[in-house]
Amino acid sequence: MTVNLVEIRNLRVEATTDAGRRVEIIKGVDLDIARGEIVALIGESGSGKTTIAMTLMGYARQGCAITGGEVRVAGMDMVSLSEAERARIRGTCVAYVPQSAAAAFNPALTIMDQVTEVARIHRFMSAAEAQAKALLLFKALSLPEPETIGNRYPHQVSGGQLQRLGAAMALIGQPKVVIFDEPTTALDVTTQVEVLRAFKSVTAQHNIAGVYVSHDLAVVAQIADRIVVLKDGTVQETGTTDQILEDAQHPYTRQLLAAFRPKTQQRAPDHDGATKRPLLEVDNLTVGYGPRSRDGQPLINAVQAVSLKLDRGRNLGIIGESGCGKSTLARAIAGILPAHAGNIVFNGRELGKAGRNRTRNELREIQIVFQHADSALNPAKSVGDILRRPLTFYHGMRGKARDARVNELLDLVRLPKSVRHRLPGELSGGQKQRVNFARALAAEPTLILCDEITSALDTVVAAAVVELLKELQRELGISYIFISHDLSVVEAICDEIIVMYRGQKVEQITTTRLSAPQHPYTRLLFSSVPKLDPDWLDNLKQDADELRAYSQR
């Protein structure tokens, strides 16, 4: 019997590319986890953090193989075991909580069936026992209506609840170690707080060891005992949470920490007020989905009578949790989803509500950049083709002039010229988002609507993208409407912030007055943003009444 629950020694994982080239993605990693200890693996995407976590189950993704070293979990070497032996250990000794519980649940089965499935497969307890155990877990994870939630189907519970149910599924086999693979990345900050609390208390209660994979240092600070910083498949730095937060040695760790420091931003000097005309004025805009009733009201109003004003060269932030209507508002301004009431005045001219009622030039001046660069870039077209199209379409450019402009655009977003020939699938998340942005720039717009453009990116990469946006603004004088649920990102770039809740604008504040929000929802939202302080979560006191009033959980 070994001292530590998990001992990884000199782990090597190789991937085979489609040209048959072998690439080492994990290059000799050592890692120990004691009983009941939670170790966080942090690093940018591609650093191998999930790959390492998965080897605890003896699993390597398709095309990858563990080529060396050993992974001892409770004394058993997961690398040398047969697949059948590994299957016995999975779920009972090692369990896994995926990043997206929504994708991990089968929509056709009830939650209880899926949570107790592990017990059914491994036959370590009867169905009734398993259900009783599940009920205890639902309570421990502070799920609402624990007695009946198991009878529902996955689509009938919220994202935060589903994530906790995913944890219940992992914990039912009483594992010794649980792998948490970015379990809160996809959640709103207000939800994240509750999920983190639930994870923390359950793991402490059952003395469960955990591997917590994340790129969010502030989240990790709340839950982990130790932090391992990874880059390019090697361990850069290991230390207790306090050590890493206070005395980081490695440059990458410092970069991560730096992304959390409050950002100072110089405001663009005010242009002379006399000629100032707002770039965009939105007046009482109401947008909805579904069939219209007789009085012209759509079935569901996603945005209700929102007004806003944006001056040229300034930036406006819109924040709120998912479902608050912030993206719908952006879509209505862009003309993708026609608003059914209200006015959009751009540059002094009223715009048609639907995109097809706007002139090509009006369309050119407002560009929208979507959150998921994966789906916003045609996977079948090369980066060059993607950027050439708006140049031809809006500016009639061809041949050499167009190629030169493509190179300029790539240069603007700090990408090498060689990516022109690549397909989007061959780029990293940050690179894709830059291409996505370069396409918007190709139109030479005056306003860019950024819909959660940094949400899918790592902290460090997101900070770099935000820096880039600021630089481009200085060079090109563009205005941004920046939609996000991440306050720190909005704070870094915007002059004014609109807080939205359930389709309504609840507050509009300037970034200088951020510390004194008036509306209770704004207060709740702002207080939910994790801080680097490891005691933040324990000390966080949120008004229970407010929490109830504003949580749709």
Q: Is 437 in the site for another protein (CB under 8 A)?
A: no
Q: 3-class DSSP state for residue 241?
A: helix
Q: Is 376 in the site for another protein (CB under 8 A)?
A: yes
The edge-to-edge listing of strands for the beta sheet with 64-73 is 22-33, 6-16, 64-73, 76-77
Q: What is the DSSP string of 137-179?
A: HHHHTT-SSTTTGGGS-GGGS-HHHHHHHHHHHHHTT--SEEE
Nearer to another protein, 168 or 369 (CB): 369
Q: Is 425 in the site for another protein (CB under 8 A)?
A: yes
Shortest distance, position 107 Cβ to another protein, whole Å: 17
Q: Is 336 in the site for another protein (CB under 8 A)?
A: yes
Nearest to 112 by CA among 96, 90, 134: 134
Q: Is 405 in the site for another protein (CB under 8 A)?
A: no
Nearest to 439 by CA among 486, 485, 392: 392
Binding residues for another protein restricted to 132-161, rule: CB under 8 A = none
Nearest to 28 by CA among 69, 66, 60: 69
Shortest distance, position 283 Cβ to another protein, whole Å: 22
DSSP E strands in 349-477: the ranges are 349-350, 366-369, 447-451
- Phi, then psi, of 83 in degrees rounded to 5: -60, -40
Q: 3-class DSSP state for residue 35?
A: coil
Cα(34)–Cα(213) distance, rounded to whole angstroms? 17
Nearer to another protein, 16 or 552 (CB): 16
60 and 142 Cβ atoms separated by less than 8 Å: no
Region of 147-155, 187-195, 211-219, 387-395 interacting with another protein (CB under 8 A): 387-395
Provide the CA 273 distance to its chain's centre, in angstroms. Answer: 39
Neighbours of 373 (CB within 10 A): 24
| Distances in whole angstroms, Cα of residue 509 to Cα of each of 387, 468, 493 | 36, 24, 14
DSSP β-bridge partners for residue 280: 310, 346
Q: Is 390 in the site for another protein (CB under 8 A)?
A: yes
Shortest distance, position 435 Cβ to another protein, whole Å: 11
Q: 3-class DSSP state for residue 208?
A: coil
Pick from 335, 342, 445, 534 the residue near another protein by CB under 8 A: 335
Q: Is 360 in the site for another protein (CB under 8 A)?
A: yes
Binding residues for another protein restricted to 291-310, rule: CB under 8 A = none
Q: Is 416 in the site for another protein (CB under 8 A)?
A: no
Q: Is 384 in the site for another protein (CB under 8 A)?
A: no
Task: Retrieve residue 330's tokens.
Answer: 């952006």
Q: Is 357 in the site for another protein (CB under 8 A)?
A: no
Pick from 30, 85, 426, 543 the residue near another protein by CB under 8 A: 426
Provide the CA 321 distance to its chain's centre, in angstroms. Answer: 12
Region of 154-162, 328-336, 481-489, 530-538 interacting with another protein (CB under 8 A): 328-336
* Count of all residues that appear for the chain in the document: 553
Region of 15-23, 112-120, 152-160, 310-318 interacting with another protein (CB under 8 A): 15-23
Pick from 370, 437, 501, 550 the residue near another protein by CB under 8 A: 370
Region of 30-38, 313-321, 355-363, 538-546 interacting with another protein (CB under 8 A): 355-363
DSSP E strands in 416-466: the ranges are 447-451
Nearer to another protein, 225 or 452 (CB): 452
Pick from 36, 298, 355, 520 the residue near another protein by CB under 8 A: 355
Pick from 1, 19, 84, 108 the residue near another protein by CB under 8 A: 19
Q: Is 21 in the site for another protein (CB under 8 A)?
A: yes
Half-sphere exposure at residue 360, Cβ-oriented, CA atoms within 13 angstroms: 8
Total binding residues toward another protein, as defined by CB under 8 A? 32
Pick from 89, 316, 377, 506 the residue near another protein by CB under 8 A: 377
Region of 92-100, 166-174, 235-243, 366-374 interacting with another protein (CB under 8 A): 366-374
Chain positions contacting another protein, by CB under 8 A? 17-21, 23, 334-336, 355, 360, 363, 368, 370, 372, 375-381, 389-390, 393-394, 422-423, 425-426, 439, 443
